[in-house]
A and B are shown apart, each in its own frame.
Chain A
């Protein structure tokens, strides 16, 4: 995908968020209020207007820019998506079954490191053994630092 396309998507997304923010901010304002600066919507209204103004300028700049040939950096996209998915799954599992945090952590580390290691033809078992050992050690370190030293229960 071209950088300009991604830029337009992001700027339009930000503009939509800005409109929502501005509408919410103005809902606090009351007509004819004497001490308008004490209203909780006063400062956010200024911010919302400023955001929309600068996004408009940036959109115009993006649309009229002459050099737009380069592509958005997208190396290893599949791995990036997989790691984000694994992270989301890990967070979800942890919040649902808290007592199994340490087991999930070992599995999460192992899964992410395997996603980053494995290529076609890589022997699977030695990789699992090596990375599994690191996963257990690192999880142990997390336990030592947070649970044992600082008394923060992660389960």
Chain B
């Protein structure tokens, strides 16, 4: 089946439409809550997606992801608190615009830019997925092993300021992934005789524990440190003439966001900063940036939404998720017994093309949902934390149980949540852990099979052209991380010296 042969009417099945609409509304609602962010919302919806057939399940998660990226801009713009890391760049101009009495207009710019970004990301996905998948068919075990390693290392280098602890997090993720039956010999490993562990730790328990439970602990810790906003009334209408002034920023942000999303590990946070910088470079009024420039909002928001489409590309074509959030979407595939990768186009054509076209629908649904409910959802910012925290906790607990109806999983999630709380506060990288856990099976199996093919000869990883390219990229990435770390250490030393001098002066 090709792109043109896909029966688009499949997408208009009531269940698919309901999944997209519910995902859009829920993503926007939860995404608007400061600190919750796309990851937590996706995690909360993962168990629910398990209860649906594969296509609506994936569309639900993609709609949640897209809309929570926009939803995050609501708290960024109105409160100046980012809904998620990918909305930090939006604060720079969104919040000043809101403070100058135009919160609705700022949200309007954000909604338009997010929608256009989402559509451009979707088109990139639609037209690039098939050629990349065809190329991926030529790859073998060594390349898949190296691609998995590259994905994890890219996330490890970017997601934490401490490279060593990020690598430790990734190794821990791989180790947790080895618990259960060996994929090649079938021997049980590290199960401690527990029957529940023979099939390994489940994705839902690990991810909910890592992100939702540890987030709940953080929310309780930070309770009372942020003031609640006053009354909110917002309308997202922006006149067309004003909207046209952001066309360049939106187009640039959308293109760069799609490209950045394709590279494993970069994610929407990085994309939004690139989009913001590009918008500033393209602008005729760069001086207005940081003071409420609509182009600043458009650049950042179009880039973070277009990166969602881009990050789906490596998942569908290579079986390697481009970001931790997409790793959760990969979880939905795996829970339905579908392994993403180049073969998915031949094995599950309706699902794959349904996702490619359905992704465009999620952007459209986000736009109309945003137009309708942004004024109402802005009020979620006033939702009291003493109700929100137990609600998130309860939904997480029931979600873990519903995925496997096992109380053992609940204890795993709670324990993981407490450990993850300490890890995230000590510079360890939770995204690197999760990505490594998800890719653990792929990495180990392809590594061992590559050695089996070569008779134990490790040069197989550098004698094949594409493997060699991947090895060089990995070496470059690690060198970049070490160089960045060295620069950071030097800066820390200078800062410490300056602080010391200041303290001495003040004592004198």
Q: State whether these chains interact.
A: yes
A interface residues with partner B (beta carbon < 8 Å): 3, 6-7, 10, 14, 21, 24-25, 28, 35-44, 47-48, 50-51, 54-55, 57-58, 61, 66-67, 72-77, 79-80, 83-84, 87-88, 90-91, 94-95, 105, 108-109, 112-113, 116-117, 131, 134, 138, 142, 145-146, 150, 152, 154
Question: Closest A-chain residue to B496, C-beta based?
Answer: A67
With A131-B387, A138-B391 already in contact, 7 other A-B pairs whose C-beta atoms are closer than 8 Å: A38-B185, A51-B168, A66-B493, A73-B425, A84-B418, A91-B397, A116-B390
CB within 8 A of A134: which of B175, B187, B387? Answer: B387
Find out whether the CB atom of A150 lies under 8 angstroms from the CB atom of B51. yes
Can you spell out 25 A-B residue pairs with CB atoms less than 8 angstroms apart?
Answer: A24-B189, A35-B456, A38-B448, A40-B185, A41-B189, A43-B448, A47-B175, A50-B171, A54-B168, A55-B168, A58-B162, A61-B164, A73-B221, A76-B223, A76-B224, A80-B217, A80-B220, A84-B414, A84-B418, A91-B397, A116-B390, A138-B394, A146-B402, A152-B51, A154-B402
Is B393 within 8 A of A116, CB to CB?
no
Given A28-B189, A50-B171, A72-B425: A109 and B493 interface contact (C-beta under 8 Å): no
- The reply to whether B402 and A116 contact each other, CB–CB distance below 8 Å, is no
Which B residues fall within an 8 A CB radius of A? 48, 51, 162, 164-165, 167-168, 171-172, 174-175, 178, 182, 184-185, 187, 189-190, 216-217, 220-225, 385-387, 389-391, 393-395, 397-398, 401-402, 405, 407, 410-411, 414, 418, 422-423, 425-426, 444, 447-448, 451-452, 456, 492-493, 496
A42 to B402, CA, bound (A): 35
B390: A residues at CB distance < 8 A: 108-109, 112-113, 116
* Most chain B CB atoms below 10 A, which of A39, A84, A117: A84
**A interface, by DSSP: helix, strand, loop or mixed?**
helix
Contacts of A108 in B (CB 8 A): 390, 394
Smallest Cβ-Cβ distance to B389: which chain A residue = A116
Give the residue of B168, B393, B410 whose beta carbon is less than 8 angstroms from that of A112.
B393
Whether the Cβ atoms of A40 and B394 lie closer than 8 Å is: no
> B residues within 8 A CB of A117?
386
Q: Give the chain A neighbours of B405 by CB distance below 8 A.
A: 152
Residue of B164, B172, B216, B418 ringed by the most chain A CB atoms within 10 A? B164
From B182, B190, B222, B456, give the contact of A24 (CB < 8 A).
Answer: B190
Query: Nearest Cβ distance between residue B39 and chain A, in whole angstroms?
Result: 20
- Give A40 to B407 CA distance when docked, in angstroms: 29
C-alpha spacing A79/B219, complex, angstroms? 11
A10 and B426 contacting across the interface, CB-CB below 8 Å:
yes
User: Do the beta carbons of B168 and A6 come within 8 Å of each other?
Assistant: no
What are the residues of chain A within 8 A of B389 when measuring CB–CB? 83, 112-113, 116
Flag if B386 contacts A36 (CB, 8 Å). no
* Chain A min CB distance to B24 (Å): 18
* CB-based closest 7 A-B pairs: A40-B182, A37-B451, A116-B386, A112-B390, A95-B407, A40-B187, A117-B386
Residue of A nearest to B449 (CB): A37
Question: A91 touching B407 by the CB < 8 A rule?
Answer: yes
Q: A134-B387, A142-B398, A154-B398 are in contact. Are A14 and B168 (CB under 8 A)?
A: yes
Residues in chain B near residue A74, CB distance under 8 A: 221
A7 to nearest B CB, angstroms? 5
Q: How far apart are B468's CB and chain A's nearest CB, in angstroms? A: 21
Chain B residue at smallest Cβ distance from A134:
B387
Q: How far is the CB of B117 from chain A (nearest CB, A)?
A: 31
- Tell me whether B414 and A87 are in contact (CB under 8 A): yes
Q: A7 near B496 (CB under 8 angstroms)?
A: no
Whether A94 contacts B221 in the complex (CB less than 8 A), given A43-B444, A117-B386, comes out as no
Question: Nearest chain-B residue to A46 (Cβ)?
Answer: B447
Whether the pair A37, B448 counts as a contact (CB closer than 8 A) is: yes
Q: Do B398 and A10 touch across chains, with their CB atoms under 8 A apart?
A: no
Q: With a CB–CB cut-off of 8 A, which chain A residues contact B162?
A: 58
Given A40-B185, A67-B492, A51 and B221 contact (CB-CB distance below 8 Å):
no
Cross-chain contact A87 with B386 (CB below 8 angstroms): no
Q: Which residues on the A side are within 8 Å of B423 (C-beta)?
A: 10
- Cβ of A112 to closest chain B Cβ, rounded Å: 4
C-alpha spacing A67/B189, complex, angstroms: 41
**A54 touching B171, Cβ below 8 Å:** yes
Q: Name B183's closest neighbour in chain A (CB-CB).
A: A40
CA distance A108 to B393 in the complex (A): 10
CB pair A36 B456 closer than 8 Å: yes
**Neighbour of B171 across the interface among A7, A36, A51, A113, CB < 8 A:** A51
* CB pair A94 B407 closer than 8 Å: yes
Cα A134 to Cα B418 with chains together (Å): 27
CB nearest to A80 among chain B residues: B220
Closest to B445 in A: A43
In the complex, chain A residues whose CB is within 8 Å of the CB of B167: 54
B174 with A47: CB separation less than 8 A: yes
Q: Is the CB of B190 within 8 A of A21?
A: yes
CB within 8 Å for A83 and B220 given contacts A21-B175, A40-B182, A51-B172: yes
- Say which residue of A51, A91, A105 sits within 8 Å of B411 (CB atoms): A91
Complex interface: chain B residues within 8 A of A113 (CB): 386-387, 389-390
Given A50-B171, A83-B220, A91 and B410 contact (CB-CB distance below 8 Å): yes
Check B185–A131 contact: CB distance below 8 A.
no
**Which A residues touch B185, using CB under 8 A?**
38-40
The residue among A72, A76, A105, A116 with the most chain B CB atoms within 10 A of its own CB is A116
Check A38 against B452 for contact (C-beta < 8 Å): yes
Min CB distance B426 to A, Å, is: 5
